[in-house]
């Protein structure tokens, strides 16, 4: 069944957004009486369509399901070109990321000053769409673009920076020896990697330099690998 996010509920009836109305009516060609899933307030409802423009749908029942997972993993991804960023967001949602921080670094390819708002909005839309497809109940937040200094001030139980130096601590070693943690942040460098001084700055701010293994990974693959490994370790 198709699934939509909604934040407008009145009299047991959801009113869906223009985008979702378009998708339901034009793309899915659904009609009055058809059923859709609606996520509201992180809860999942089965609903029946009552009206089409905009789509209004009444609750039939609330499902007792909650597929979000204990540990909250934030991906701080250095800016890369658009198509790669899209892939990172889509796959990140699919693999259970809790939120995303786009990160400005010395080697980041893209410089965006004026259009930043539009970018974030677009990324947030991609994340929402990926959520729908991955049947997740909570939409991960895409934060505004941060500097390394802003990142350094954030508070997480476990702060990880992925390095290309395979001689550093492995992620497995780190996770298996870490205290119980509820929030993890993983920082992924840009193509070309962090400058030594950037890496050192984060380490000084409590981030642990960690290797994802012996393989040569591209920047757009690193977050997916890290998330897969965390899911494996904690059996999410």
Q: How many residues bind its own copies (CB under 8 A)?
A: 29
Residues 6+ apart with CB under 8 A from 15: 6, 8, 54, 55, 56
Start-to-end CA span in the chain (Å): 24
Told to check if 224 binds its own copies by CB under 8 A, we report: yes
d(CA 193, CA 107): 7
Name which of 110 and 217 has its Cβ closer to its own copies. 217
Name which of 155 and 235 has its Cβ closer to its own copies. 235
Rounded-to-10 torsion of CA 82, 91, 222, 155? 90
Tokens of 17: 């957004």
Of 15, 17, 124, 221, which lies in the binding site for its own copies, with binding defined by CB under 8 A? Answer: 221
**Main-chain dihedrals φ then ψ at residue 121, nearest 5 degrees:** -60, -45
Q: Is 132 in a helix, a strand, or coil? A: helix
| CA dihedral sign, ordered 20, 70, 78, 206 | positive
d(CA 88, CA 101): 12
Told to check if 183 binds its own copies by CB under 8 A, we report: no
Tell me if 13 sits within 8 A of 141, measured CB to CB. Answer: no
Of 7, 8, 67, 165, which lies in the binding site for its own copies, with binding defined by CB under 8 A? Answer: 67
Residues 115-134 that bind its own copies (CB under 8 A): 133-134
Told to check if 228 binds its own copies by CB under 8 A, we report: yes
Describe the chain by its helix, strand, coil percentages, rounded to 5.
Answer: 35, 30, 40
Of 69, 146, 195, 208, which lies in the binding site for its own copies, with binding defined by CB under 8 A? Answer: 69
Q: Determine the interface stretch with its own copies among 19-27, 46-54, 108-116, 226-234 (rule: CB under 8 A).
A: 226-234
Of 9, 112, 164, 217, which lies in the binding site for its own copies, with binding defined by CB under 8 A? Answer: 217
Residues 148-177 that bind its own copies (CB under 8 A): 170-172
Q: Determine the interface stretch with its own copies among 20-28, 35-43, 118-126, 207-215 (rule: CB under 8 A).
A: 207-215
Told to check if 2 binds its own copies by CB under 8 A, we report: no
What is the nearest approach in angstroms of its own copies to the Cβ of residue 217? 6
Binding site for its own copies (CB under 8 A): 67, 69, 91, 94-96, 133-136, 170-172, 213-218, 221, 224-225, 228-229, 231-233, 235-236
């Amino acid at each position: 069944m198709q699934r939509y996010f909604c934040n407008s509920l009145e009299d047991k009836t959801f009113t869906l957004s223009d985008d979702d109305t378009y998708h339901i009516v034009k793309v899915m060609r659904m009609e009055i009486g058809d059923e859709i899933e609606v996520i509201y307030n992180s809860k999942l409802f089965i609903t029946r369509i009552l009206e089409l423009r905009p789509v209004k749908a009444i609750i039939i029942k609330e499902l007792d399901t909650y597929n979000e997972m204990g540990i909250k993993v934030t991906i701080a991804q250095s800016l890369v070109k658009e198509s790669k960023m899209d892939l990172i967001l889509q796959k990140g949602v699919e693999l259970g990321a809790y939120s995303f921080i786009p990160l400005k670094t010395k080697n980041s390819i893209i410089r965006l000053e004026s259009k930043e708002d539009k970018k974030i909005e677009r990324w947030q839309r991609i994340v929402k769409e990926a959520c729908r497809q991955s049947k997740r109940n909570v939409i991960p937040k895409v934060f505004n673009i941060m500097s390394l200094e802003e990142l350094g001030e954030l508070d997480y139980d476990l702060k990880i920076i992925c390095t290309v130096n395979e001689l550093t601590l492995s992620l497995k070693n780190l996770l298996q020896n870490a205290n119980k943690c509820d929030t993890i942040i993983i920082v992924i460098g840009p193509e070309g990697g962090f400058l030594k001084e950037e890496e050192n700055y984060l380490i000084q701010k409590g981030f642990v330099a960690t290797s994802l293994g012996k393989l040569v990974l591209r920047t757009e693959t690193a977050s997916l690998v890290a998330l897969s490994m965390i899911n494996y370790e904690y059996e999410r």
